[in-house]
Structure formats: structure tokens, C-alpha cells
Chains A and B, each alone.
Chain A
Amino acid sequence: MPDTSRKLIQLCSALFFIILILSCNKPYLSSQATTPILQVFNWNNYIAAETIQRFEIFCNCHVEQDYYSDNEEMLAKLAAGATGYDLIIPTGNAVDTLIRQHVLIPLNKALLPNLKNILPVYLNTPFDPTNEYSVPYAYTLTLLGFNKNKIEELHLPTDTWAIIFEPEYLKKIKGRVTVLDSPRELMAAALLYLGYSANDQNEVHWNQAKELIIRAKPYWAAFSNTSYIREIAIGDLWVVHGYSNDLYQAAMDAKKTGRAFEIDYTIPTEGAVMSLDSMVLHKNGKNPDLAHQFINFMLDGINSAELTNMIGSGNPNLEAKQFIRPELMHNQAIFPDENTLSRLQMITDLNRKQRRILSRIWTEIKLR
């Protein structure tokens, strides 16, 4: 008996290792010899599968993607030694960090003729003033999402941050509100509501924002970064502080499942945060030429529009507009007019002292 079981274990472990070895080597062995590989480090679900397929045919190469769900996660993985990525698509403040870390390579603009398609408003941003390293990819807005039917029924305003900060409104929707579990985003909303800049670094103003948040907190259900998408789509939540892509997704879900209510989202008049994601080249990448081709390919109107049509992201590409579905083009919360655009701000990185102070304020907010 022990003899047979020992043999069985030996057989199993032998099988396990054979499978392990086979599965490790297969894709690399077969593709490396023939076609070049472009390694992309991207957000989850942030490029259409058809776009990738077309690019692979166009350049006779293979695109491999790894995913992250948070800029900090991406930075942490790079800091921990993840290498080999040709192209990364971080948000503005993370681009800033990567530039100051000296890990990006300057772009060769001669290889990017389609750069002319990008609207000038989205170029020369504070984090990369001459676009030496980065090319805009898509943007997301942080705004207010709400259950339209409920909010009309309760006669609440939807064009102001007051709805998530003022007890006078909040008492009608107590326990049906969530805000983002992100110190920077929530503080930005509070600072904007108080009439300051989203990037205000004055500690006195931070403390005012803290007081505002602590006063409103008892009415909120939770701090939530992802679960609010499902909860608002099924009707558990009525007002959320969230991202435009996610709220687009929630609105579509509610529509598809035939809910009795509609989900809408607006940019508050006080202003909001815009997160512009850009394509950058990492210096550890093996195929910078291929990466340039990819950037130029993605700057093409059709390819750029495909992403917007898929996830409802904002699009900085002028040529893409003709390929985007009209209902998306007319959505003010995805393509804001000039006037609204001037009230959008991008978040900049904080230094280590400020980060620690903000973290302390955040702990206090969570504790009270």
C-alpha cells in the first residue's frame, strides 16, 4: 500500500513539473524567434481587442499586455523590479513621478506624424510641459453619478458638490451615498467645493476640507472605489462620487438589465478632477521603434475612437470624434464644452512631507 501511494505521488509530481515547464516555455519559444513582441503595461480593460488585432497584423508583431488597476500599484511594481515593458499608460501625476525618476525615454516626434490629431488643450500639460515623454491617450473625469429618478423625486441639485457635502441635502439620501476611497480625489472635491484649487497645498485649507468631510461623513454609506459601480446599477446607491468611465458602465448596465430607473452623471459647477492618461516609453523596453509605431497607430482617429466607444472614456483626439457614437459625443460629462473644460484640473504629485500630512488627515477622517 505505501509503495503504490509513493509511486502515485512521484507520478503526480512528475506530471506537475512537465506541465509547468511546458506552460512556461511555449508562448515564448514559438513567438520570440519569428515576430517581435511589444510589452504593454496597461490599465485593466483599457484597449479594444480589435485594435490590438489590427495592430498585430499591421506591424507583423505580437502585443503582450500586463495590467494594473491603480497608478500606485504600477509604480510599486516598477519599483519592485518589474522590467521589460516598452510602453506604459499612466495618469498625469504618475507620468510626473516616472519623469523625475529618469526611467522614461524621450519620444522621437518624427516617428509620430499623427500627433497633430491631438487637441492642443491636452498637450503641454503641467506634468510634461513640452510633451517630451508623453502622448495623451484618453481621460477620465471624477464627477457625480446619481439615480436620476430618485434625485428628481427628492428635488435635489445635481450640479454641485454640495449634494455630497451639505447635511441639508444629505439627510434625504442618508446611507445611499458613497465617495471615492482616495485621499487625493476626495480632498480635491472638498477643496473645489470650498472654492480652492484641487491642488491647493495650504494646510489651513486642507483642515477646512477635513472638517467639511467629517461633518458629511455620517451620511455616507462607505468609501468605495469599485463596488459602487454595481451598487448604483442595481439601485442600492443613489448618489456616488466616481469616475466617468465607471459611471458610463453602470448606466449601460442599468439600461441593459431593464431597471426602472436611469443613471446619469454630471460635472459640478465648482469644477472637477480630470485624469489624463498618457502613453510613455520605459527605458527598459526592448522595442522602442515598435512602441513608437504603436503610439502613432493609437493616435489614428479610428483606433482611438474604438476605446471611447467601448468604455466611454474621454478622447483627446480630434480625428477620432467622427468615429465616436453620437450619443457619447453629445454627453457633456464625457466631452465637456470649453467653459466646463476650463474648470477641470489635473492632480499633481505631492512631496513626501505633504504625503505624510495628508495621510494623517485621512486617518483622522476615517477614525472620526
Chain B
Amino acid sequence: MILTSFRLPGEFGGLAPIYILPDKANADSGLTIETYQFFFSDFIYVEVFLKSFAVAIFTTIICITLAYPLALLIAHSPRKFRNLMIMLVVLPFASNFLIRIYAWMIILGPESALSHIINSALAFFDIAPVTLLFSPFAVLIAMIYVHLPFMILPLYTNLEKHDPLLLDAAQDLGANAWQRFWYVTWPQSLPGIFSGSALVFIPVLGMFAIPDILGGTGDIMIGNLIKDQFLGTRDWPFGSTLSIMLTLAVLSITGLFSWFARPTGKFA
């Protein structure tokens, strides 16, 4: 991939040949940094990156807020129900990913029951009707829906291991419910949150099917851009460049994450 990004696109897609020993007719060796220059020549590619990061961050945060109570509930329920509940969380994986996305298309469509309810509620407050499908909202909903189990599972595995005696001890020492959560449960669950976040954040960043199907006219993400370079524009070198930039961005973010998540000695 790194080598590809330094090459010229072939006339029919694929790659132009590399000339190891450039002869007179081909002074151009076929190796170039022009894709990188092209990437930085314009702000729009950086903008696409920033936008994708914003979507990924939003999705991750909302996934955490939705998954945390659920994971806590599962971890605190009687053992015989736990497996059933985990099975329910995993159940959507039994059907194909694309079918689930198409299902959202029907749910959010302008003639759907949901749209009618929301729009009649809005009409009551004199607000113009909204379209749910083909919007950033639809993309975000589907992103959260698809990736929620990836947040719940690591969180649950983490929360399940907590020693209930610690909570009892905190209560004995006079901590109220909120303090027990904030000083005992939350710090212990941070590793679960970090691994869940990684499992959500990175796939969302590279997702192209959801913006393609549910997105409106402005919902382009890095994934779509890279897919276009390979399948539409037949420009493999630039597609590789975009992939490398994405990998670098993800690596640096993961680096930052693990730096923040490093054991500080405070709770260890």
C-alpha cells in the first residue's frame, strides 16, 4: 500500500508500470510523491477527514452513554438471565448488515409511521416538517445502532469482574449512590470503555456503506472517498495515499488514547 501510493495510476485503472532503470523514452521512473502533494494541495480532503472524525467521536460518545446503563444492568442481573440478555445484544448479528441498514431506510422513510408521528408532533409546535432519511441524523442513528454491541460487550465483561464488596465497603464508609458510582465503579470500568471506544471509533471512521445508503447529499466520509478512488476513479495510488493518511491518523489517536489510559498509579 505504501509503495502503491508513490506510483502513477495506470491508464485503465491499476498501476502504471515501474521502470527500474529509466531509459531515455521513459525519463519518468513511475515513482512519484504527487499523490501526497495532491492531498495537501487542497483543504477539502482534510475537511473530509475532520468531518469523519466528528461523526466517529459523536457515535462513540453516544454509544458509551447508551451502553453503560445497559451493561451495568446486565452485570447486576441474576446469573441465569445474563446469558439470555447477552444473546439478545448479539442477536442482530444473525441478520446481514446491509439488510439491517435497508430496514432503517424503511423506518426513516418520509411515508413511514415514525416520520408521520414526529412530523405531526412538530406541526403541533408550528415547526416545519423534517425529513429523517438521507440526512446526517440517519447516518448517525445507523452508525450507533450497528456499533452499539461492540461497546456493550467489552463494558459488560469489565463490569462483571468488579468485586461487589468494594461497593459495600464504600456504602459502609458513607458514600451515597452517586459517589459509589463515580469513585468506585467508573474508574474501574475505564479499561472497558477504552477498548469499547476503540472497537467503535475505528470502524465508524472507515465506514462507507451507511453514508452511501442512508446519507444525504453532503454525507461523505473517508471510507466513501477511498472506495471511490478504487472503484470509480480507478486511481489506486491516490486511494492508497488516503488509506495511509487514515491509518496514520488512527494510529496517532490510538497512541493518544493509550497515553491517557495508561496506569497513573492513582487507582492501580
With both beta carbons as reference points, the residue of chain B lying nearest to A363 in the complex is identified as: B44
Contact indicator B234/A72 (Cβ below 8 Å): yes
* Complex CA distance for A362 and B224, rounded to whole angstroms: 12
Contact indicator A236/B44 (Cβ below 8 Å): no
User: Which interface class (under 10, 10 to 19, 20 to 34, 35 or more) fits B?
Assistant: 35 or more
With both beta carbons as reference points, the residue of chain A lying nearest to B34 in the complex is identified as: A356
A-B contact list, 13 entries, CB within 8 Å:
A75-B13, A101-B12, A183-B232, A218-B217, A221-B131, A221-B133, A221-B134, A352-B234, A362-B228, A364-B44, A366-B217, A366-B224, A367-B218
0/1 interface trace, chain B 134-146, chain A, CB 8 Å (1 if under): 1000000000000
* Complex CA distance for A351 and B16, rounded to whole angstroms: 13
With both beta carbons as reference points, the residue of chain B lying nearest to A231 in the complex is identified as: B109
Contact indicator A367/B134 (Cβ below 8 Å): no
With both beta carbons as reference points, the residue of chain B lying nearest to A224 in the complex is identified as: B134
With both beta carbons as reference points, the residue of chain B lying nearest to A365 in the complex is identified as: B217
Please report whether the interface of chain A is mostly helix, strand, loop or mixed according to DSSP.
helix
Option from A79, A356, A358 in Cβ contact (under 8 Å) with B13:
A79
The 8 A-B pairs at the shortest CB distance, nearest first, are namely: A366-B220, A222-B134, A359-B233, A352-B9, A221-B134, A217-B217, A355-B233, A175-B131
A368 within 8 Å of B (CB atoms): yes
- Complex contacts, B110 vs chain A, CB 8 Å: 175, 236
User: Which interface class (under 10, 10 to 19, 20 to 34, 35 or more) fits A?
Assistant: 35 or more
Option from B47, B134, B238 in Cβ contact (under 8 Å) with A356:
B238
Option from B11, B213, B218, B238 in Cβ contact (under 8 Å) with A217:
B218
- Complex contacts, A351 vs chain B, CB 8 Å: 11
- Complex contacts, A223 vs chain B, CB 8 Å: 217
* Complex CA distance for A153 and B263, rounded to whole angstroms: 68
Option from A175, A220, A356, A364 in Cβ contact (under 8 Å) with B233:
A356
B225 within 8 Å of A (CB atoms): yes
B63 within 8 Å of A (CB atoms): no
A97 within 8 Å of B (CB atoms): yes
Contact indicator A222/B235 (Cβ below 8 Å): no
* Complex CA distance for A363 and B11, rounded to whole angstroms: 21
B229 within 8 Å of A (CB atoms): yes
Contact indicator B44/A234 (Cβ below 8 Å): no
* Complex CA distance for A217 and B215, rounded to whole angstroms: 13
With both beta carbons as reference points, the residue of chain B lying nearest to A225 in the complex is identified as: B212
Distance in Å: Cβ of A357 to nearest Cβ of chain B: 10
0/1 interface trace, chain B 51-92, chain A, CB 8 Å (1 if under): 100000000000000000000000000000000000000000
Distance in Å: Cβ of A360 to nearest Cβ of chain B: 7
0/1 interface trace, chain B 2-33, chain A, CB 8 Å (1 if under): 00000011111110000000000000000000
Option from A97, A227, A359 in Cβ contact (under 8 Å) with B12:
A97
With both beta carbons as reference points, the residue of chain B lying nearest to A230 in the complex is identified as: B105
0/1 interface trace, chain A 99-135, chain B, CB 8 Å (1 if under): 0110000000000000000000000000000000000
Option from A101, A222, A363 in Cβ contact (under 8 Å) with B225:
A363
Within 8 A of B (CB), among A337-368: 351-352, 355-356, 358-360, 362-364, 366-368
With both beta carbons as reference points, the residue of chain A lying nearest to B51 in the complex is identified as: A367
Distance in Å: Cβ of A228 to nearest Cβ of chain B: 11
* Complex CA distance for A73 and B110, rounded to whole angstroms: 32
